[in-house]
Each structure stands twice: as C-alpha cells, then as structure tokens.
Structure 1
Amino acid sequence: MKKKIALLTVLFATAMYAQAQTSQDTERITQACMNYIEGFYEGDTLKIKASLRPTLTKFGYFKNKQSGKFEEDGYMTYKQAIDYAAGVYAKKRFPKADAPKVVKILDVSYNTAAAKITAWWGTDYLLLSRNGDNWIIDQVLWEGPLVK
C-alpha cells in the first residue's frame, strides 16, 4: 500500500511539473513566434535575431498572380532574414495596422516544438528548439496567401 501511495505521489508531482513547464514554454514559444512576425512587420532586426537560430533554414512557395500556380520562392538564411527586416525598416514598408498576427502552437515536447503562424505574407510552419530557458526558430516552411 505504501508503494502505491509513493508511486501516485511521484506521478502526481511529475504531472504538476510537466504542466507548469508547458505553461512557461507556451509563453516563450508564443513570444519567439511573435518576435518573428513583428520583426518582419516592424523591420526590427533585434526581434528577428532573438527569434531565429543562426543556422536557420527557411523555404517557401508564393502564388504567381499570372499563372495562378504556386512556385518555389527559394531559401532564406538567417542573414537574409535580418537584411530583409532591415530593408523593411529602411524603406518604411510596414504592413497595414490590421495585418494578421496569429500564432497557433501545434505541439510541444521537452526540447522541440511546432507552431503555425499566419501573417500578411501567408502561413508559416515553424520548428523550434529549446535554447536555454527560451525557444528559438530552427526551420520555416511557408506558403504565400491564396491570391484570387
């Protein structure tokens, strides 16, 4: 009987720790995703640097307005992401105030997570990893909006 009580106590404590960990992680994952969106929206290179791993791989598809077909838009590196954000700021090419900033966390493990974001440019699927107490985006696969 004592063994059962001890086992239940350990399981309960583990479940409580996991729940607390998930709550903190959810906030930090959401923050990494928002830094990513806002970094590109605001041209804020500090937010971009805070959200992306230097070995970033970003690849996507954009819909060709003439053909109506999605085409590969190529790869973006960490440096290119920073340069892109800097260009947004320099040229003052900010999106409209009501541009979407939607973050949906799809899965969280101890060291890895997956999220989906929706922004003016379309939908991005992000793979994140733990970076100390924070989370950082390692890979992005994106698709531009459905242009009518």
Structure 2
Amino acid sequence: MKLISIFIVFLVVGTLKVQGQTAQDTLDIKKVALAYIESQHNPNPKQMEDALHPRIVKRSVFKSKKAKKDYISEFSAENLVILAETYNANGDKFPKNPKKEIKLLDVSLLTASVKLIADEWFDYMHIVKTNGEWKIINVLWQYNNVSEHQ
C-alpha cells in the first residue's frame, strides 16, 4: 500500500511539471500583455502587431442610447494596430505615469488568462502559445465607470 501511495505522488508531481509554465513563459506572457498597453501609451503599431495573434478579437458591451439595446463592439488585429498608432498620438489619453498592472489568472502549457488593469478600464486577455511565441488572441474589456459604455 505504501508503495502505491509513493507511486501516485510521483505520478501527480510529474504530471504537474509537464503541464505547468516555465519562468520564461511567465515573463513572455507578461511582456505580451504589457506590449498591448504600452503600444497605446507610446504610439507604436509595430509593438502592438507583434503582441497580437492575427485572429484576435477584442470585444466589449455597449448600449445604444437610440435603440435602447446592448450590443457587442468588436475590434480586429487591424483595428488594434491602427488604435496603437492613433489613440494617444497627441499624448493626452493617459496620465504621466499610467497604471499597467498585470495579473496572471491561469497559465497552462499553451494558454494563459490575464487581467490587465489600466487607469480607466480593465482587459481580460486570453493568450496562446503558437510556434513558440505567446500572442494575444482574445480581449474582453470594460471601462471602470460603466456609464462610459453608453
């Protein structure tokens, strides 16, 4: 019985090691999430493009005042690269020292869930590892002040 218990412990520990992320994965995931927000702080479309999977979709819920209905806003990779180039072109969209807090919610061998907390909003990101690189494939975001979603 004792031998079986030891075998089970080794099996579980071995499985956890195979499925977990490495220290480099953690750094790379954080780097990609930071590139997403920093490319908007200091307009840099190349930095944004490098952080994104080509099939990314960024979504949020907004309310149409006229229709009095909620709808889903969607951005593609192309939209996000243009956003990085234009959103803060005048340097007036963020505070001097903008907030950019990254929380790893869950990380596995090929996927990660991350929460980015910025000054006026937060983003939930799904990040995937493809061809050895971590890339953002989904973003769901919301303003802190939900009245901004009107």
**Range class of TM-score, shorter chain:** 0.7 to 0.9
**8 Å contact 1:63–1:147 — kept in the other structure?**
no
CA distance in 2, matches of 1:93, 1:72: 28
What 5-or-longer segments of structure 1 have no aligned partner? 65-70
Aligned to 2:73: 74
SS at match of 2:145: coil
CA distance in 2, matches of 1:147, 1:12: 44
Amino acid at match of 1:58: K
SS at match of 1:98: coil
Aligned to 2:28: 28
CA distance in 2, matches of 1:139, 1:112: 11
Counterparts of residues 102-121 of structure 1 (less than 5 Å): 102-121=101-120
Using the size of structure 1 for normalisation, the TM-score is 0.76
**8 Å contact 2:20–2:109 — kept in the other structure?**
no
SS at match of 2:56: strand
Aligned length: 144
What 5-or-longer segments of structure 2 have no aligned partner? 65-69
Identity among equivalent positions (%) equals 26
Offset of 1:139 from its aligned partner? 0.3
Query: Do residues 138 (structure 1) and 123 (structure 2) align?
Result: no
Using the size of structure 2 for normalisation, the TM-score is 0.76
CA RMSD of aligned residues (A): 3.3
Query: Do residues 127 (structure 1) and 126 (structure 2) align?
Result: yes
